[in-house]
Amino acid sequence: MEQIKRFIADFGLPRVIIAVYLLGLFLMTPMVDVSLWGALSDVFTRIGMNGIMVLALIPMIQSGCGLNFGLSLGVIAGLLGATFSIEMGYVGVWGFIFAILVSQVFGAIFGFGYGTLLNCVKGGEMMIATYVGFSSVMIMSIAWLVLPYKSPVMIWGYGGEGLRTTISVEGFWRHILDDFLSFPIAGYRFPTGAILFFILVSFVIWAFFHLKTGTAMTAVGSNPIYARASGISVNRMRIISVIISTMLGAMGIIVYQQSFGFIQLYDGPLYMAFPAVAAILIGGAGVNKASLTNVFLGVTLYQGILTMTPLIFNAVLKLDMSDVIRIIVSNGMILYALTRKMKVLK
């Protein structure tokens, strides 16, 4: 009993509730005639889809910049990469790689500017990040209208101007990762490529945080005074962390698109950061501490809930409350993390 209590205290009550809830949903699958394998396949597809965007939050949390609510900036870089690739007419693997390459360039540029700005506002990053993200999405909405794209798959047909709100990547690089090495389990597809890619990027991040720069970054986040005394440039580390975060966000959205099948422009990236933030917090990260375990656990739990809730609720109650549950769970989790950290500091 004592052990259970301590485990709950360490793990955090909200997380325990979420884990138990998800487990309950899985256990209910046979009772309500929902295929467990189908559900699992969906969960894995969504983990592969969203994993890298959650991963993108780690560098900034570690360097003490807080939760990157401005991830939409990275998403915008990704959108630029994706649209460039389609504009050039690259198809298949090369299209996908070209999209990622272009997005990384934009991600680095945006990240540098964004990081420089955040260095001027230490301590107030999160709110500013949110609104910098929001306003960039709007500037880009204007850009999508006026940029001289030519590809007929992307621009509105006759009469309209600018790019479409959603662009299908079918025929370009739809499911390029999901279908790579994928195999069926009980008739449902396992998205091997996407999961492998997620693991690969995670490994790179893991390795990075064991190198000199990564360690220095963690030091800046844990104790900036100590880091400065050890001869680490705090501002430089923070900028690097923001650049990496933005670049990962850019890569993340392209991985998301290849699985989802569509590029969403205009208002699309506005709230992209929030599910990722909620996921990493559900996984046990704090406002200034995050690990890969948090990412894996978080993205599994969060995407698990998102997939399973509508399945089970629809089957049992003929009621789709999944949207409301998603809003309450994800924002409740962010709120919990925001109020908890200050208690520790006090």
Partner 1 sequence: MKRLRLFFIENAVVILFVILISIAIPASRLPGKFLLQEILTRLGRSSFLVIALLLPIMAGMGLNFGMVLGAMAGQIGLIFVMDWEIIGIPGLLLAMLISLPISIFLGWLCGSIMNRAKGREMVTGFILGFFMNGIYMLFALYAMGSIIPVMNPELLLSRGYGIRNVVDLISVRQALETFIPLRVAGLNIPVLNYLLIAGVSVFIVWFRKTKFGQDMRAAGQDRAVAGAAGIAVDRTRIIAVIVSTVLAGFGQIIFLQNLGTINTTNSHEQIGLFSIATLLIGGASVTKASIPNAFVGVVLFHLLFLVAPMAGKNLIGSAMLGEYFRQFVSYGVIAVALVLYEWKRLAQEENSRSRLWGGKADAL
* Interface residues toward partner 1, by CB under 8 A: 69, 117, 120-124, 126-128, 130-132, 134-135, 137-139, 141-142, 145-146, 161-162, 224-225, 228, 234, 266, 274, 319, 321, 323-325, 327-328, 331-332, 334-335, 338-339, 342-343, 345
CB of 268 to partner 1, least distance (A): 13
Burial of 195 (0-12, 13-18, 19+ CB in 10 A): buried
Q: How far apart are CA 256 and CA 246, in angstroms?
A: 15
Burial 297-327 (b: 16+ CB within 10 A, else e): bbbbbbbbbbbbbbbbbeeeeeeeebeebbe
Strand partners, 155: 163
Instruction: Please name the residues in contact with 177: beta carbons below 8 A apart, sequence gap of 6 or more.
Output: 48, 96, 191, 193, 194, 197, 255, 258, 259
CB of 343 to partner 1, least distance (A): 7
Q: How far apart are CA 218 and CA 237, in angstroms?
A: 9
Question: H or E segment at 189?
Answer: strand 188-190
Look at the block and give the residue holding tokens 């990053």. 125
Residue whose CB is less far from partner 1, 4 or 120: 120
Q: How far apart are CA 71 and CA 77, in angstroms?
A: 10
Q: How far apart are CA 33 and CA 232, in angstroms?
A: 58
CB of 276 to partner 1, least distance (A): 14
Residue whose CB is less far from partner 1, 33 or 161: 161
Residue whose CB is less far from partner 1, 13 or 181: 13
CB of 327 to partner 1, least distance (A): 3
Residue whose CB is less far from partner 1, 122 or 189: 122
The DSSP string of 129-175 is HHHHHHHHHHHHHHHHHHS----TTTB-STT--SB-SEEE-TTTTTT
CB of 294 to partner 1, least distance (A): 19
CB of 226 to partner 1, least distance (A): 10
Residue whose CB is less far from partner 1, 9 or 145: 145
Residue whose CB is less far from partner 1, 134 or 209: 134
CB of 223 to partner 1, least distance (A): 8
Residue whose CB is less far from partner 1, 1 or 225: 225
Q: How many CB atoms lie within 10 A of CB 146?
A: 10
